[in-house]
Amino acid sequence: MKLRTFFLAASAAALLTGCRSTPPPTPLADLNPQQQRGHDVFRASCAACHYDRQSGSLHGPSLLGLFKKPALPSGAAATDERVAATIVHGRNNMPALGNKLSQDEIDDVLAYLHTL
53 near 25, Cβ under 8 Å?
A: yes
18: pLDDT strictly greater than 60: no
Instruction: Specify the pTM.
Output: 0.73
The amino acid at residue 104 is: D
Q: Read off the pLDDT of residues 22-79 as tens digits, 9 standing for 90 and up.
A: 567 788 899 999 999 999 999 899 887 876 555 555 667 778 888 988 888 788 899 9
Strand partners, 94: 91
Please state, as a whole number, how many other Cβ atoms lie within 10 Å of the Cβ of residue 98.
15
Q: Per-domain residue ranges for the chain?
A: 32-113
108: pLDDT strictly greater than 90: yes
Query: At the top level of CATH, which class does the domain 32-113 belong to?
Result: mainly alpha
Distance, CA of 51 to chain centre? 7
114: buried, middle or exposed (CB in 10 Å: 19+, 13-18, 0-12)?
middle
Rounded Cα–Cα distance for residues 1 and 66 (Å): 41
